[in-house]
Amino acid sequence: MSHSTTPADVLEALSVHRLRRLVDGLTDAAVVVDKDLRPLVWNAAYVQAVGLRPRRFQEVAGAEGMRCRDLLGLEVCEKECLAKACLKGQRPVRMDEIQGRSEQSPGAEASTLIVSAIPLENVAGETVAVLEVYRDVTAEARIQARYKVLLDRERRRAEILEEQVRARTADLERSLEELRATRAQLIQSEKLSSLGQLVAGIAHEINNPINFIYGNTDFLQQYVDAFLRLIDAYDKLEIAAEDRKRIENVKTEIDFSYLVQDTRKLLRSIRNGSERASAIIRDLRAFIHGRPMERSPVDLVKCIEQTLNLLTHEVRDRISVKREGSEQVPTVLCNEGQINQVFMNLLLNAIQAIQGRGTITIRFYERDGGVAVDVTDTGVGIPDATLLKVFDPFFTTKPVGEGTGLGLSLSYSIVDAHGGKISAQSKVGVGSTFTVWLPRDVQPKVRGAEEHARASS
């Protein structure tokens, strides 16, 4: 310290003293450098960060041309010097997450620093030096990194869990769907079996009365003809005029000629009614009994084509028929006549569902060890409530006399007797799809006949 001191010297000495006190007071490594980055003031933490003993540090730091970056060189010093940025901008500069040096203890964890550069001004307001503060945040960074790892792991675990939940939900939904389908099938076959018994009972009960009407009509016709012949013979007799007049009076009174005509009409309508009733009974018989079934390998594509040929008249140019997947369809062991009947029912329904122009698409595909056939129409569609009933016996939406309501339930029992499945999907205004699935090879299911034997005995 000099003996001759100017007030400026004193002030400066005071400032330097205060600056030293300030830097010493910082727990973080800190150094004050001049415009040429020469270290002027530093604290113990800085010395420690540089990694030299205090005395040795003194020597090194005091050397000619020594800069802060030579003492505590960081990667960032090469790329952008914070002190220079601070001098240039005349304002504090701060940079986070700076990699510290690690060459002193190789293998050790690299330290993480927050470096700040604060401009220091003289009395005239000029920036003459920079205070560099190196805060070591390695521990915090380590905790943060650890936290991040944990968070990531937690997030991954949650994702896996979510994925599992999604998969399980999908599984459950699938099972539920299968259960629903099985339940629908069960309800349907239960309905059919109890209805089958009911129908068998009714069919049996009304069979005899229909027989009386149906069979006796012929006799009645014969008898009426005989009476008329007799009357005719009487009319041709030569009788007294007044007798003739008496007979004519009776004829007028009873409107004889009308009665003769109308009796013929009556007989025709009785015959027509009883014939229709017997036809229904015949259908019912087919419905109740799985007829003795002869099975052979059947080409379903050929079946459909044959059935379509019979329907050419109905289809004409109003409906275009598309086939999909019909190139290679394996044969199915089934009763060809019965399966033809099923396709006939499905195709007829499809045709009737299409008002005006439309398309019927027949799609063949293999599934679950069998062959499935979709018959899709672009028809009016079936409302959900109706869709539940389409396989019920006697359910029909067709006008009286046009359908017995047995077509689809008959199809259902035929497919069921083959160990197959039939199902329907529909959307009003879009169309319907009926799917028949038949196993490629199956043991015939014996039912119906025995059930009826039980029901009728």
Tell me which residues in 259-298 interact with another protein (CB under 8 A): 274, 277-278, 281-282, 285, 288-289, 291-292
Q: How far is the CB of 361 from another protein (least distance, A)?
A: 36
Whole-angstrom distance, CA of residue 129 vs CA of residue 122: 9
The one among 4, 208, 309, 355 contacting another protein by CB under 8 A: 208
Stretch touching another protein by CB under 8 A, among 45-53, 171-179, 198-206, 256-264: 198-206
Structure tokens at 185: 């099938």
Q: Assign residue 382 a region: left if phi > 0, alpha if psi is -120 to 50, beta otherwise?
A: beta
Stretch touching another protein by CB under 8 A, among 66-74, 101-109, 208-216, 369-377: 208-216
The one among 207, 359, 386, 396 contacting another protein by CB under 8 A: 207
The one among 127, 138, 211, 326 contacting another protein by CB under 8 A: 211
Contact 300, 339 (CB under 8 A): yes
How buried is residue 122: exposed, middle or buried, by Cβ count under 10 Å (0-12/13-18/19+)? exposed
Nearer to another protein, 135 or 289 (CB): 289
Q: How far is the CB of 456 from another protein (least distance, A)?
A: 6
Whole-angstrom distance, CA of residue 451 vs CA of residue 83: 101
Question: Residues with Cβ < 8 Å from 377, sequence gap 6 or more?
Answer: 349, 350, 351, 353, 354, 358, 359, 360, 361, 431, 432, 433
Nearer to another protein, 152 or 294 (CB): 294
Sheet with 431-439: list strands edge to edge. Answer: 319-324, 358-367, 370-377, 431-439, 421-427
Q: How far is the CB of 418 from another protein (least distance, A)?
A: 17
Nearer to another protein, 93 or 210 (CB): 210
Count of residues making up the chain: 457
Whole-angstrom distance, CA of residue 247 vs CA of residue 30: 148
Question: Residues with Cβ < 8 Å from 159, sequence gap 6 or more?
Answer: none
Contact 338, 414 (CB under 8 A): yes
The one among 218, 225, 262, 314 contacting another protein by CB under 8 A: 218
5 binds another protein (CB under 8 A): no
Dihedral of the CA atoms 307, 309, 311, 313 (nearest 10)? -170
Task: Please work out the total of residues on this chain that contact another protein, with binding judged by CB under 8 A.
Answer: 29
Stretch touching another protein by CB under 8 A, among 205-213, 307-315, 340-348, 366-374: 205-213
Contact 434, 374 (CB under 8 A): yes
Bridge partners of residue 438, in order along the sequence: 371
Q: How far is the CB of 390 from another protein (least distance, A)?
A: 26
Q: How far is the CB of 349 from another protein (least distance, A)?
A: 26
215 binds another protein (CB under 8 A): yes
Stretch touching another protein by CB under 8 A, among 190-198, 342-350, 428-436, 444-452: 444-452
Stretch touching another protein by CB under 8 A, among 33-41, 80-88, 186-194, 203-211: 203-211
Whole-angstrom distance, CA of residue 123 vs CA of residue 366: 95
The one among 27, 99, 216, 272 contacting another protein by CB under 8 A: 216
Q: How far is the CB of 393 from another protein (least distance, A)?
A: 17
Q: How far is the CB of 218 from another protein (least distance, A)?
A: 5
89 binds another protein (CB under 8 A): no
Nearer to another protein, 211 or 306 (CB): 211
Contact 134, 115 (CB under 8 A): yes
**Where do the DSSP E strands lie in 158-309?**
296-298
Q: How far is the CB of 235 from another protein (least distance, A)?
A: 26
Binding site for another protein (CB under 8 A): 200, 203-204, 207-208, 210-212, 214-216, 218-219, 274, 277-278, 281-282, 285, 288-289, 291-292, 449-450, 452-453, 456-457
